[in-house]
Chain A
Amino acid sequence: MLIARMLALPVLLLKDREVFWDRVRDQEIHWSDLLGMAAFIVIACAVYGAVLAGWRSPQLVLYVAIKLPLLFIGTTILVAGFNWMTASLLGSGLSFKSTVFAVFAAMTISGWILLSMAPIALFFLLSGVPAEGTHDVLRHAHNSILVTHIIILSLAGFGGNMALLKGLRRVVRPNCPVGSLFTAWVVAFAFVGCQMSWILRPFVGSPFFPVAWMRPDCLDRNFYEFVFREVLPYLLTGAK
């Protein structure tokens, strides 16, 4: 009974999103409904997170099963205020509750995609990624599984965001620039999400570093310092 109630909104979002968006627009949803969606997102991300780290060690499986939901839910909480403000400034007519539900709806769709792709990711993990071997074998294995997960997570993100864009078109006032609102939300989520994932790393788990809950230097610098100081100079000059 509890599970059916918890799954009611996620299933509605999967099968009949228009009804969900109409309920958001008409303010027919309650804060208690959010619990079911949040629980679904946590479970979906935990399942996929367990697969994500499955090639490295059972300890990392447990860590990532906790950290991946933390990354998604944490990022949403951190940008919730900004989302509501931009929605208000752009004249969307959305309440704070509606903006939170809209973002959670997108993550629920992503959660469905992650859940459905978990068996495939697990299969690639079990059949294509050796956990032992020479330096080159391990590096190749790590890169292969990394690319696989990047493709799957991108698909999930794309699916969620497309659902969000279509939903926003349905719920905002006619004169609201939906494209600008959507872009602001996605950029904010990506900006904060990159830093959150930097702090919470490792996720896939490099074979050349010990398994850890978080890296010891996780708060020493941020993701963007790393990109601008190390990645970009390397790409531009070919040297560190």
Chain B
Amino acid sequence: MNEEAMKMNTGHSMPPPLDEAHTPKPENIVTALLKSPESVVEVIANGKNAIRNGLTLLAAAVLFHAIFGVAMGLFGGWSVALMDVVKVPLTALCALALCYPALYVFACVGGAPLTFARAFVLGASCLAMLGLILVGLAPVAWLFSVSTQSVPFVAMLVVCIWGVALSFAVGFIAKLQEHAQFRKAAGIKTWFFILALVTLQMATCLRPMLAIPKDGWWTGGKLFFLSHFGSTFDEPKR
């Protein structure tokens, strides 16, 4: 159907669908996520090169989270920064892996059925979008991390920055709805809320992130994320 016919049927002009020439190649997918997210939506929808695109986005997400890990970890010195290079991307990756079955099911239940491969690209693109914003705000995190002694302040700052990144990723999911295949994105939005909660618990599981424990990198012990974030405010100084 041409644009004129669409206009006549719907009463208003609709954007033309992106053709293959506008679909980004796997090597440009991260740039496309930043500059033209709608083209990434098209990649998710058509499922072409899904695994390669997904892996590229995932690699970018790992890199971006690692950079943010350094900026955040410098609060406790280079040893903590080195630890956070591993822990921050690991938190994001493990949370996504745990939530992957839920993404597939929630998208289908919500009325936007995906294949496993397309669900993989969607999950990876959400994580990459989060990472992009985290990298953008990494200098801010670094500035405040190295200029304070207060653990609660840095913890709050990191949570706030992550919240900003989350809001952009939600915006990306809202962009999905502009595509005919993802008109019903309620299931995907619900999944994203679950991903956020799982990420908080994963960060608790992989604690500490702002200090080096006495032995190794892990504290161990079972703790619910609300208790953990609550207890952070009991430690006024590093």
Contact = CB atoms under 8 A, between A and B. Distances in A.
Interface of A: 14-16, 109, 112-113, 115-117, 119-120, 123-124, 126-130, 140-141, 144, 155, 159, 163
Contacts of A163: 109
A127 B201 contact: yes
B201 A123 contact: yes
Contacts of B205: 123, 127-128
Given A123-B201, A130-B222, A15 B108 contact: yes
Contacts of A128: 201, 204-205, 222-225
B222 A113 contact: no
B226 interface: yes
B226 A144 contact: yes
Contact of B104 (A109, A116, A130, A144): A116
A163 B223 CA distance: 36
Contacts of A130: 221-222
Interface of B: 98-99, 101-102, 104-106, 108-109, 113, 187, 190, 194, 198, 201-202, 204-205, 221-227
B101 A115 contact: yes
Contacts, number: 68
Nearest to B225: A128
Nearest to A158: B190
Contact of B98 (A115, A120, A144): A120
14 contacts: A14-B105, A15-B113, A116-B101, A116-B102, A116-B104, A120-B102, A123-B202, A124-B201, A127-B202, A128-B224, A130-B222, A144-B226, A159-B109, A163-B109
Contact of B102 (A15, A109, A117): A117
A171 to B, nearest CB: 17
Contacts of B105: 14, 112-113, 115-116
